[in-house]
Amino acid sequence: MRILITGAAGFLGSNLCDRFLREGHEVVGLDNFVTGHPDNIAHLMGNARFSFLRHNISEYTYVAGPLDGVLHFASPASPIDYLELPIQTLKVGSLGTHNSLGLAKAKGARFFLASTSEVYGDPMVHPQVESYWGNVNPIGPRGVYDEAKRFAEAITMAYHRTHGVDTRIVRIFNTYGPRMRPRDGRVVSNFIVQALNGEPITIYGDGSQTRSFCFVDDEVEGLYQLFMKGDANPCNIGNPVEYTVKQLAEIVVELTGSAAPIVYRPLPEDDPKVRQPDITRARAMLGWEPQVDVRTGVQRTIEYFRTLLGTPRMALHGR
Ligand code: UDP
């Protein structure tokens, strides 16, 4: 197959490029490097089955040649990024999804939308099943991401129903691992980088809020299986083992052996109190479930950041 991945230089996009190339497919990567970084795809540049377009998918997009799949992964995805880039976040979720769908339709390609557990907002149903419609504040600071992704799901279903495009929607839950940015702002990377630098570990709120953390290799395997074997209805892909943020901080302190103190900071507005995927659908439809427990995954991520922070040029690439 020949597939296009938007957001190819991002954390998930670049890992997804590797996964498709490993199966022998041809990959066209697209990214504008707003939150993605060239280092994430530098190792692919000599690969004859990989090509790259530096482009903003929110603008009209031309891609030469046939395509069998269009996977739309471009978007700021960390709360600090979409708070800093609210209009771009809304545009890439709306205009970027529209352009990606138009491309898929024109090429007769399968379309795959990277949606998010954020469509459930601060959930009133726990764990979250795909049939739950969510509890999102449209005008709050997170609304720019949540509503963009909710619109993206709506337009994906409209292209499916109206134009018969073969579509997939994945709702991605918190994912971590190598190629996260050191200053990405999300909890796993923050805690590990703080612990390794001996800086205070910043728990927002009292740390009783929960998240369920999926190691990137498990997540990417789920995405690949959903692309190949899934159907048009949304599917949760994440690790259902739930931790409080405080428990995560304790695991990071223990595994790094850090003497860094824990400090408490205000909880960001609309921060979801709980989050845990119900993956019954993914298990049944794809025969997929996560294999890597959080301690193993966090250990691998610590190794990644140890190497990265020990390399002066890399340690600097902030965003
Ligand atoms: N969080 C924290 N300290 C940090 C970064 C995040 O306590 O340095 C909390 C944040 O308030 C949230 C959880 O960790 O409750 C997960 O945050 P993240 O930004 O990773 O992603 P989210 O799940 O909120 O999109």
Q: How far is the CA of 154 from the centre of ligand 1 (A)?
A: 27
Tokens of 305: 């950041």
Q: With the CA atoms of 143, 148, 149 and 151 taken in that order, what torsion angle do they form, in degrees rounded to the nearest 10? A: 120
Q: What residue owns the CA closest to ligand 1's atom 11? A: 204
In a structure prediction context, what are the per-residue pLDDT tens digits for the chain, which is 319 residues long? 999 999 999 999 999 999 999 999 999 999 999 999 999 999 999 999 999 999 999 999 999 999 999 999 999 999 999 999 999 999 999 999 999 999 999 999 999 999 999 999 999 999 999 999 999 999 999 999 999 999 999 999 999 999 999 999 999 999 999 999 999 999 999 999 999 999 999 999 999 999 999 999 999 999 999 999 999 999 999 999 999 999 999 999 999 999 999 999 999 999 999 999 999 999 999 999 999 999 999 999 999 999 999 876 555 444 4
Pocket perturbation via mutation, ligand 1, pick of 136, 149, 187 by most ligand atoms within 8 A of CB: 187
- What is d(CA 100, CA 60) in angstroms, rounded to the nearest whole number? 9
pTM metric for this prediction? 0.96
pLDDT of amino acid 229: 97
Q: What residue owns the CA closest to ligand 1's atom 1? A: 187
Residue 32 lies in a domain: yes
- What is d(CA 30, CA 6) in angstroms, rounded to the nearest whole number? 5
Q: How far is the CA of 30 from the centre of ligand 1 (A)?
A: 28
Q: How far is CA 145 from CA 152, 158, 225, 255, 297, in A?
A: 10, 20, 25, 32, 27
Residues with catalytic function: 145
pLDDT of amino acid 314: 53
Domain count, the chain: 1
Residue 265 lies in a domain: no
Q: Domain limits at 19?
A: 2-176+213-238+276-292
Residue 181 lies in a domain: no
What CATH number does the domain containing 133 carry? Answer: 3.40.50.720
Residue 221 lies in a domain: yes
Residue 302 lies in a domain: no
Q: What residue owns the CA closest to ligand 1's atom 4? A: 187
Residue 193 lies in a domain: no
Residue 287 lies in a domain: yes
Residue 257 lies in a domain: no
